[in-house]
Amino acid sequence: MTAVEVAGIGLHPFGRFEAKTVTEMGVAAVRQALTDADVDRRGFQAAFCGTAYSGVAAGHRVLDALGATGGPIVDIEAGCASGGAAVMMAAAAIAAGQYDTVLVFGMEKMPKGIIRSSFFAPWQEEAGMAATPAYFALRAQRLMRESGVTPQHLADVVVKNRANGVHNPDAMFRKEATAEEVLASRLVCAPLHLWMLCSPNEGAAAVLLQRDRPGAVRLLSATLTS
């Protein structure tokens, strides 16, 4: 079986950067990944860009700014799974023997406030389901009913994520939180409290995948479901 390895990674910090374009953030992350992998701007054979809010040909704009065009550039929009979908497709292309080195990257400048989804039927929109907190609250209620998950478990996920952010200089939130603080934050849509919700922000990430690179971190799996 062909080994798919993570040869290099790059991150642009996550937060709000009004003075930067989404392309500039993507360029910064890609440059870091290429430098980390010791690969030049023409050292990859294909690129997959995962983004939902960056417009048409977002990946092309980033690589054009780097002078790294010439190979196939595939833009992927899969909502919140855009980045994961890009990694999955890149890994599959390497495993199939199509490419040896593939660049994967993504970047966003998310709108502020509650995000409305566009894939719901009109009756669902009228019922208020098109607002993401309401939609995911229904999913959480079903999970609680079927699996025994409690609000405490949901709060513990936030605690874990905030603890990880403390040690990540590129994270948006870098302060720890307790479960009590999470559950004391404003209830938005039961059972979800404010601190449980995703915070729309801006940032970028990139990873360079290679076939059988000695000493690199092996990518064991990249899958999606629906």
CATH code (residue 66)? 3.40.47.10
Q: Which amino acid is at 221?
A: S
pLDDT band at 118 (very low <50, low <70, confident <90, very high): low
Same domain, 141 and 173: yes
Whether 225 is in a domain gets the answer no
Range with the poorest average pLDDT among 3-17, 86-100, 124-138, 180-194: 124-138
Split into its structural domains, the chain has a count of: 2
Whether 156 is in a domain gets the answer yes
Determine the pLDDT at residue 176: 97
Whether 226 is in a domain gets the answer no
Same domain, 41 and 95: yes
Whether 223 is in a domain gets the answer no
Determine the pLDDT at residue 114: 74
Determine the pLDDT at residue 111: 84
Write down the mean pLDDT value for the chain. Answer: 94
Distance CA 90, CA 208 (A): 10
Reported pTM: 0.90
pLDDT band at 112 (very low <50, low <70, confident <90, very high): confident
Whether 224 is in a domain gets the answer no
pLDDT of residue 116 exceeding 70? no
Same domain, 160 and 177: yes
Same domain, 16 and 92: yes
Rg of the chain over all Cα atoms, to the nearest angstrom: 19
Query: In which domain, by residue range, is 10 found?
Result: 4-112+201-218
DSSP secondary structure letters along the chain: -PPEEEEEEEEEEEE--TTS-HHHHHHHHHHHHHHHHT--TT--SEEEEE-SSS-TTHHHHHHHHHT--SS-EEEE-BTBTHHHHHHHHHHHHHHTTS-SEEEEEEEEEPPSSPPBPSSS-HHHHHTTTTBHHHHHHHHHHHHHHHH---HHHHHHHHHHHHHHHHT-TT-S--S---HHHHHHSPEEETTEEGGGS----EEEEEEEEEES-TTSEE--------
Q: Which amino acid is at 183?
A: L
**Do 56 and 187 contact (CB within 8 A), yes or no?**
no
Same domain, 158 and 108: no
Same domain, 92 and 164: no
pLDDT of 128-180, one tens digit each? 777 888 889 999 999 999 999 999 999 999 999 999 999 999 999 999 999 99
Same domain, 96 and 163: no
Average pLDDT of span 86-101? 97
Whether 157 is in a domain gets the answer yes
Same domain, 127 and 103: no
Same domain, 41 and 99: yes
Range with the poorest average pLDDT among 85-99, 113-127, 182-196: 113-127
Same domain, 107 and 145: no
Whether 207 is in a domain gets the answer yes
pLDDT of 11-31, one tens digit each? 999 999 999 999 999 999 999
Distance CA 72, CA 47 (A): 6
Same domain, 52 and 108: yes
Share of the chain above pLDDT 90, in %: 78
Same domain, 55 and 98: yes
Average pLDDT of span 202-219? 94
- The neighbouring-strand residues paired with 4 are 211
Whether 67 is in a domain gets the answer yes
Query: Before 191, cis peptide (omega within 30)?
Result: yes
pLDDT of residue 43 exceeding 80? yes
